[in-house]
Structure 1
Amino acid sequence: MLFFRFAWVATAALIVTAVLLPAHMIARWLRHPIRKNIERRWHRAICKILGVKVEVRGSMVQPSGHGVLIAANHISWLDIIVLGSVAPISFVAKDEVKDWAIFGTLAVWQESVFIDRTTRLGAKAQAEIINKRLLDGDNIVLFPEGTTSDGNFIYPFKSSLFGALGVGAAAISSPIQPVSVAYNKLCGLPMGRFKRPLAAWPGDIEIVPHLIGVISEPHLGVVVSFGEPVDQCEGMNRKEITQIVQERVAEMTSLALRGR
């Protein structure tokens, strides 16, 4: 039965991609806004194929004239699919992600912003690129933990990642919206802290075994919570902003994991 499950997922995903990809490529070439709707439809379809049920709390803010910078906790590659299914977004990713099989290609198609975290020399240029994307109306997602957790807690947010984007220095013209991702159910029942790592993708696990694990558990439930945006008030530095955003993400995560 597991073999047929894998075959179904692979076949369905290929069909959905084959149907939507040509229209998406044309829309990207024309820079037409419909490309983000196509991406969202693809992510929604993949969630259904994988059997992932997404519950959304709150909504993404829509600033007038520009996009929003979203700061979210990070648990798994599955977060990309889940977040992409609920909002028209692009992601900030490590430069090496471009070279990953499958996921690197998907990241390029979704117009991710690739940054080099090993050097400060290009930080200003990277901040300018992201700021331009925000001014053009794109919604950009940053994972400030800089890594993935086991889903039961969040790691401290790195203010250096915010700093690389110009946060706290008036370089980013957008408010920052905290967003929480919490995997909380399995087969419709509370998942519990010991089963929650089924959805998590720690850095020491290869992508293929984890993908197989997710496919073999077709009834994951996840809560995506959109929090109150944080405006970059005059006088606030990046560390203060980082702390506020982290606290709001942690609170929403805790509530979702406790079923509240």
Structure 2
Amino acid sequence: MIGSLRIALVLICFAALALTLVPLQYLFLKTGLALKNRLPRLFHRVLARLLGFRIRTHGEMTKGRPLLLVSNHVSWSDITVLSTVGDVSFIAKTEVRDWPLFGTFAVLQRSVFVERDRRGKTGEQASQIATRLVSGDAMVLFAEGTTSDGNRVLPFKTSLFGAASAAIRETGAEAVIVQPVAIAYTRLHGMPMGRYHRPIASWPGDVELLPHLKIILREGALDAEIRFGEPVVITARTDRKTLARTMEERVRAMLQTSLMGRDIESE
């Protein structure tokens, strides 16, 4: 009964939030106002509170640009969690654009949609991302290419790391900053989750979205940690495969630090 009541209240508040801010974002996108980058952050901060997320950060997003953030990927909620701490846009699979509601939000947050399985389009897609990087947008790449179970980092796919080099090659930028980011879901109702309960937060690709969303709405009270690693400045000579391996190692180390409960600080 309490769980059903919570779901109803969250949905009512979410509808009010969307009806208020979505038309504004459409207007900002049409007029080109700088607020088009800032409004999604406000939206996700309110949404995180509605969902019951408590978010801790370690380190900070570098202020340097161009900036490519490279993160692990646990769930659809990663987008909300990361968006609360910075004005970011995401590199998303093409299918996301067609998702009910979530696809609309992805478009409104100025996501770049890519077809990861079509190697022939990798260069074109990297070029689109490079253009956004050079324009000053902080772009988030979920380098695993899919969601994990939240207990580990899957191997990073290297293809879209070429966007950083393309930003240098095609626009004349001197360098691009690449920063590793780790997202971990650590507690439920204040208690450590462990491997057994972490699937409550994680959303592997074979799990349907709406049932998982219902679980999050019913449970609430999730603790998430974001760790920002040391930025790497790359040049035109940087090898994308080496860069991908470096980012994978750093993200994996930061994730394990969070899951083992070390250095917990609230900022």
Amino acid at match of 1:186: L
Structure 2, unaligned stretches of length 5 or more?
A: 263-267
Change (3 A) 1:168 1:28: closer
The answer on whether the counterparts of 1:230 and 1:245 sit within 8 Å (CA) in structure 2 is no
Aligned to 1:177: 179
Amino acid at match of 1:250: R
Structure 1 length normalisation: TM-score? 0.93
Pairwise CA distance, 1:67: 3.5
Q: Matched residues in 2 for 1:205 and 1:45: separation?
A: 26
Pairwise CA distance, 1:30: 1.7
Aligned to 1:39: 40
Amino acid at match of 2:185: Y
Structure 2 length normalisation: TM-score? 0.91
Aligned to 2:22: 21
2:143 equivalent to 1:141: no
Classify the secondary structure of the residue corresponding to 1:231: strand
Deviates more, 1:229-238 or 1:101-110: 229-238
Aligned-pair identity (%):
41
Classify the secondary structure of the residue corresponding to 2:84: helix
User: Once superposed, which parts of structure 1, at least 4 consecutive aligned residues long, lie more than 3 Å away?
Assistant: 166-173, 233-236
Amino acid at match of 2:22: L
Q: Matched residues in 1 for 2:119 and 2:195: separation?
A: 38
The answer on whether the counterparts of 2:145 and 2:156 sit within 8 Å (CA) in structure 1 is yes
Classify the secondary structure of the residue corresponding to 1:53: strand
Per-residue displacement from partner, 1:151-183 (whole Å, max 9, x unpaired)?
1111011112323x3548954852111000000
Change (3 A) 1:234 1:105: closer
Aligned to 2:71: 72
The answer on whether the counterparts of 1:90 and 1:139 sit within 8 Å (CA) in structure 2 is yes
Q: Matched residues in 1 for 2:49 and 2:228: separation?
A: 21
User: How large is the RMSD of aligned CA atoms in angstroms?
Assistant: 1.7
Deviates more, 1:46-55 or 1:97-106: 97-106
The answer on whether the counterparts of 1:127 and 1:171 sit within 8 Å (CA) in structure 2 is no
Q: Which has the higher helix share?
A: 2
Aligned to 2:156: 157
Amino acid at match of 1:190: P
Aligned to 2:114: 115
Structure 1, unaligned stretches of length 5 or more?
A: none
Q: How many residues align?
A: 257
